[in-house]
Amino acid sequence: MYVVTWKKALTAGIWISIFIYATLIFQLSSAPMQAQPQPIQTTYQVINDTVTNTVIVPTGQPQRYTPDYLHFFLYIGFGVLLYFGFYIPGRLYRQFALNLAWFAGTLYGLTDEYHQSFVPGRTADWKDAVADASGVLLGILIGMLILFIVLKIRAKFMSKWEKYL
């Protein structure tokens, strides 16, 4: 008989979330910015205007940025999910999870950039690939921090209540 534990259900939920997130990234990169849904265009415009109005280059003129930073922020969430997906409890496996999650996220970012080279109005850019890889790495570090906090809280809780268990 197959028993579904909370750990198996959580792992399945994480991998389903990774698949949905990867599908979202693919969908967003499949159409030019002009063909994106209105909320995405509005969000992009607000972020771009905020960065343009707050960052001044040495010439004194505001700099209009390409959406490299959007790739970075989008891939942060992907990195968090990938780290949790590859994480196996145990000290020896943390480095394995970090390496595998970064490799998988970077590889997905590279294939996404290659895919964009076939989309009219989009181009494959090495700066976007670097932003993707950097976002995945920061996401992994955030995932590690979240896991560290959760494990510390759990250890504190368990030490307080283990005499009753």
As a whole number, mean pLDDT of residues 63-87 equals 81
| Residue 127 vs residue 68, higher pLDDT | 127
pLDDT of the residue at 64:
47
Place of tokens 């996220």: 105
Domain that holds residue 139: 6-30+66-164
As a whole number, mean pLDDT of residues 41-62 equals 56
Tell whether 72 is covered by a domain.
Answer: yes
Tell whether 59 is covered by a domain.
Answer: no
pLDDT at 76 over 90: yes
pLDDT at 52 over 70: no
C-beta of residue 138 within 8 angstroms of C-beta of residue 79: yes
| Residue 89 vs residue 59, higher pLDDT | 89
C-beta of residue 99 within 8 angstroms of C-beta of residue 80: no
Tell whether 134 is covered by a domain.
Answer: yes
pTM for the whole thing? 0.76
What mean pLDDT, rounded, does the chain reach? 80
Tell whether 60 is covered by a domain.
Answer: no
| Residue 31 vs residue 80, higher pLDDT | 80
pLDDT in tens, 94-116: 788 889 999 999 999 999 999 98
d(CA 140, CA 68): 19
pLDDT of the residue at 65:
47
Place of tokens 């955030």: 142
d(CA 26, CA 40): 14
Tell whether 94 is covered by a domain.
Answer: yes
d(CA 112, CA 25): 8
SS3 category, 8? helix
| Residue 66 vs residue 3, higher pLDDT | 3
d(CA 61, CA 37): 31
Tell whether 19 is covered by a domain.
Answer: yes
- Tally of domains in the chain: 1
pLDDT in tens, 130-160: 999 999 999 999 999 998 998 888 888 877 7
Tell whether 56 is covered by a domain.
Answer: no
User: pLDDT grade, residue 34 (50/70/90)?
Assistant: low
Tell whether 13 is covered by a domain.
Answer: yes
